[in-house]
Amino acid sequence: MWFAFLIVFVGGIVVAWVGWRGLTGKLPRQHVAGIRTPYTLSSDERWRAVHRHGGPYLVLGGAAAAAAAAALLPFAVAGRLPLAFSVAALIAMAAVTSAIAIAGWLLGVAAARRELGD
């Protein structure tokens, strides 16, 4: 079960890193990472605007997931976490990360549309 916490930890760091790169304008428009919708992929200007507004949510969500997984990982490795608690914690972390990613997408696109007048 500890391996699942490790995956959530690494995944959280990746989400936070992608969010940070998008927030700072260092994430180029591409089809692999970032908020990839037809709207964002249609131009570099839209891509930058969406990631400038949605990036903070991705950073926050990724950092929260990584922190929660890092806090529980030592206990999972030591075998001190009950199975039911581990499953509940992993589901909660996945739900929070998913919700933050969706919020980053929706709020980022909405703010970019307002900013760009689309």
Q: How many residues in total does the chain contain?
A: 118
| Banded pLDDT at 10 (limits 50, 70, 90) | very high
Average pLDDT, integer, range 17-36: 95
Quote the distance between the C-alpha of residue 109 and its chain's center: 15
- Please tell me the total count of domains within the chain: 1
Going by C-alpha positions, the residue among 15, 7, 18 that lies closest to residue 100 is 15
Rounded CA-CA distance 48/111 in Å is 12
Per-residue pLDDT of 42-54, as tens digits, reads: 999 999 999 999 9
**Residue 90 sits in which domain range?**
2-27+34-116
Backbone angles phi, psi at 36, to 5 degrees: -105, 95
Note the pLDDT tens digit of each residue in 80-92.
Answer: 999 999 999 999 9
Whether the pTM exceeds 0.85: the reply is yes
Angstrom distance (rounded) from CA 91 to CA 65: 11
pLDDT of residue 24: 96
